[in-house]
């Protein structure tokens, strides 16, 4: 409860401490965590320019209308796209680059538990949405993020703080037990964020886990094991779920607070309040620019820092980066989209 209270205090200062007209891109913003967060952001920010990217026109029209009522001075636009396809990611990125010269917040929550489904490019759907779609968006939009005069932040909603071993012979995790798959995906995503951050040290990167939240992430789930896990989750829902309002407040905090600064530069966000301090980054060092945090904003454990350090020491971080970039080049011919300004 204390974390939520401190987050609200911080969020209430967004309009007075951050510039009018913040530009925010919410990928996967038409349901679940993305929807909750964009509506809360609309309540707090002063005349923001907000882009929602997703597939559902019906959901987006409703959300845009709600945001416009919450913030009549803001600008809210939906860009419809299948963000599981790298071509679509590049097309959306070009549209954003044509519309804006800078982006303050890139918030990504696209994901799926459809372990047996594939993206249009043929990647396992959960891996493709998180490792391919999200990293491609980040690389494409880095110039706009670096152009921002104030806040420069990427938030990627995943399974942070659960980082574990990585089977480099099976980087997509095909066939792994659910928990091992989750821990591998968490490690890979944090390591990929670290590589992106090395290219843009004035941008900060937050990898978080939202807890159990009502969303559409399980719509593509299949198999007996997944069915049992989802049934247990629904049964225990009232006891373990994070309420949408709390989820929204915490994620706006992750996207705007000075608790998660970049490795260098002065884009530090809303000033700290009360006992809130600058967070430890994924290296275990305070303020290192990449953060793996739980749904209350707590840093990962020393165990996680040690696991990630081993992945860096033995070159696994380079292997996973090379794996993903090789897919980019094979599918699109380049590491980033062509035609970006």
| pLDDT for the residue 130 | 94
Domains of the chain in start order, with CATH, are: 2-332 (3.40.50.720)
Say how far apart CA 285 and CA 279 lie, in whole Å. 8
315: DSSP letter: T
| pLDDT for the residue 216 | 52
| pLDDT for the residue 339 | 79
Do 47 and 74 contact (CB within 8 A), yes or no? yes
| pLDDT for the residue 153 | 98
270: DSSP letter: B
Per DSSP, the three-state class of 224 is helix
pLDDT, averaged in runs of 10, over the chain (341 residues): 88 97 95 95 98 95 97 98 96 97 97 80 93 97 96 97 97 92 97 98 97 60 48 44 92 97 90 91 97 96 98 98 97 90 68
| pLDDT for the residue 226 | 47
| pLDDT for the residue 232 | 43
| pLDDT for the residue 20 | 97
Mention every residue, 6+ apart, whose C-beta is less than 8 A from residue 126. 111, 112, 113, 114, 115, 185
């Amino acid at each position: 409860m204390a974390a939520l209270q401190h987050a609200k205090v911080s969020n209430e200062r967004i309009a007075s401490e951050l510039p009018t007209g913040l530009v925010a891109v919410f990928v996967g913003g038409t349901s679940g965590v993305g929807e909750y967060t964009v509506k809360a952001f609309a309540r707090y920010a002063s005349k923001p320019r907000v882009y929602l990217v997703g597939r559902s026109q019906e959901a987006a029209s409703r959300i845009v209308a709600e945001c416009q009522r919450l913030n009549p001075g803001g600008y809210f636009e939906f860009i419809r796209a299948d963000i599981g396809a790298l071509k679509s990611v590049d097309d959306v990125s070009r549209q954003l680059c044509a519309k804006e010269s800078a982006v303050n917040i890139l918030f990504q929550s696209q994901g799926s538990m459809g372990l047996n489904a594939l993206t249009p490019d043929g990647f396992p759907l959960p891996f493709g949405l998180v490792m391919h779609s999200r990293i491609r968006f980040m690389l494409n939009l880095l110039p706009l993020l670096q152009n921002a005069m104030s806040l420069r932040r990427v938030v990627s909603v995943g399974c942070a703080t659960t980082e574990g071993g990585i089977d480099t012979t099976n980087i997509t995790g095909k066939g792994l037990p659910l928990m091992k798959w989750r821990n591998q995906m968490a490690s890979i995503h944090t390591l990929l964020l670290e590589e992106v951050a090395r290219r843009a040290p004035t941008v900060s990167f937050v990898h978080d886990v939202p807890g159990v939240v009502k969303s559409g992430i399980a719509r593509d789930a299949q198999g007996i094991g997944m069915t049992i896990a989802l049934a247990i989750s629904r049964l225990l829902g009232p006891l373990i779920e994070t309420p949408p309002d709390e989820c929204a407040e915490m994620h706006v905090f992750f996207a705007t607070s000075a608790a998660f600064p970049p490795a260098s530069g002065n884009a530090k966000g809303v000033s700290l309040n009360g006992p809130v301090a600058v967070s430890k980054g994924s290296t275990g060092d305070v303020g290192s620019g990449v953060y793996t945090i739980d749904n209350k904003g707590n840093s990962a454990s020393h165990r996680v820092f040690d696991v990630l350090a081993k992945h860096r020491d033995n070159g696994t971080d380079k292997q996973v980066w090379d794996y993903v970039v090789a897919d980019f080049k094979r599918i699109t011919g380049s590491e980033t989209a062509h035609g970006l300004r």
